[in-house]
């Protein structure tokens, strides 16, 4: 995605560590940062060619065949884990720098967040602010994504050792750093395979490769695994040079190598609905205001579908009333500010 991501924090070491930790979740990216220092660099795009062979027992060979690392930093992109004020002109030049991941300890960037960031990660108060509504929609998690991230966070939390964060309390693989990285690797491989499978099932006008008789026969009968991923995020990605490079340098049948299936794919469940409601309540900071209704909702889940519907209607009614109250309060504050 082409966005401006700003990390802010008063501790320089933690600021840089968090950014490197983030990009390290994309397999092989740390060893392919040759284009990250300037928005004018684009060596990866010009040098990349489709792999001529695959050795499935070799992890590096498999990752390269699947198109990893994805091109995150290329023409028009910048990675600056500690960005000095002298580079602000580069960040503000949107014709030259269309996306970036940068960090700063200077509160000047925090004060001008709307100018220098679409996404602001404030490490001092542990907050994330996404200013663009369309970007916020694209970054929302699908039901399968929520199941996946819940599984990951619960596994890490249940094995976390505050005295020694580098290893789980169980001294086992589950919850370890390697476990976390391989979960992200599995997710990305499943995503890339699902994208290719989606193109395989698409009408010929959208498919860059000629359809086969087998494809034409199964187009309407085979479920599309891409539906378990966020379609808005995929639309954003499909408009980037990273996606174009991925199509150009990978085999159209990657789904024959890696199963095109979300790691936690499945139909919408009661747990998914409860998780969605919890997220909405947390987003609106309504925990104390609708606690009684939420408790009542949990009881109704056990007694039957009719009562569940009634409880949902009551909950959403409470949320909408409070949402409108917050909106009116914000509008009133804006009018007072304008009058001043």
pTM above 0.85, yes or no: no
Q: Torsion angle, CA of 24/29/35/37, rounded to 10 degrees?
A: 10
Q: Three-class SS of residue 171?
A: coil
CA 184 to CA 167: how far, in whole Å? 18
- Cβ neighbours of residue 11 under 8 Å, at least 6 residues apart? 105, 123
Residue 120, beta-bridge partner list: 6, 129
| DSSP bridge pairs for 122 | 8, 127
Q: What is the pLDDT along the chain (340 residues), one digit of tens a residue?
A: 578 999 999 999 999 999 999 999 999 999 999 999 999 999 988 888 999 899 988 999 999 999 999 999 999 999 999 999 899 999 999 899 999 999 999 998 888 988 999 999 999 999 999 998 889 999 999 999 999 999 999 999 999 888 888 888 888 888 899 999 999 999 999 999 999 999 998 866 555 554 444 444 444 456 789 999 999 999 999 999 999 999 999 999 999 999 999 999 976 666 666 666 666 666 555 555 555 555 555 555 555 555 555 555 566 666 666 767 776 776 666 655 555 5
């Amino acid at each position: 995605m082409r966005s401006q991501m700003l990390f802010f924090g008063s501790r320089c070491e933690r600021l840089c560590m968090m950014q490197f930790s983030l990009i390290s979740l994309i397999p092989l990216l740390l060893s392919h940062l040759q284009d990250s220092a300037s928005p004018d660099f684009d060596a990866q795009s010009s040098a990349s060619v489709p792999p001529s062979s695959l050795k499935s027992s070799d992890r590096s060979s498999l990752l390269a065949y699947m198109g990893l690392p994805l091109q995150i930093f290329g023409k028009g992109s910048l990675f600056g884990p500690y960005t000095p004020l002298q580079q602000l002109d580069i960040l503000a030049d949107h014709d030259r720098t269309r996306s970036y991941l940068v960090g700063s300890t200077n509160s000047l960037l925090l004060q001008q967040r709307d100018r220098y960031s679409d996404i602001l990660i404030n490490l001092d108060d542990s907050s994330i602010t996404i200013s663009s509504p369309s970007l916020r929609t694209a970054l929302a998690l699908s039901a399968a994504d929520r199941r996946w991230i819940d599984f990951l966070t619960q596994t890490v939390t249940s094995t976390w050792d505050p005295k020694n964060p580098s290893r789980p309390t169980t001294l086992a693989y589950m919850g370890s750093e390697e476990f976390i990285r391989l979960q992200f690797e599995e997710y990305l491989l499943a995503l890339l395979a699902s994208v290719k499978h989606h193109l395989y099932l698409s009408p010929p006008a959208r498919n860059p490769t000629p359809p086969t008789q087998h494809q034409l026969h199964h187009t309407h009968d085979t479920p599309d695994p891409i539906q378990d991923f966020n379609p808005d995020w995929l639309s954003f990605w499909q408009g980037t040079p990273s996606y174009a490079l991925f199509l150009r340098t990978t085999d159209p049948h990657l789904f024959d190598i890696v199963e095109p299936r979300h790691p936690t794919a499945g139909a919408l469940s009661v747990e998914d609905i409860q998780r969605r409601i919890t997220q909405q309540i947390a987003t609106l900071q309504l925990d104390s205001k609708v606690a009684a209704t939420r408790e009542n909702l949990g009881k109704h889940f056990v007694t039957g579908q009719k009562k569940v519907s009634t409880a949902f209607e009551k909950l959403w009614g409470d949320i909408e009333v409070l949402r409108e109250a917050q909106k009116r309060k914000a509008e009133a504050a804006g009018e007072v500010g304008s009058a001043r």
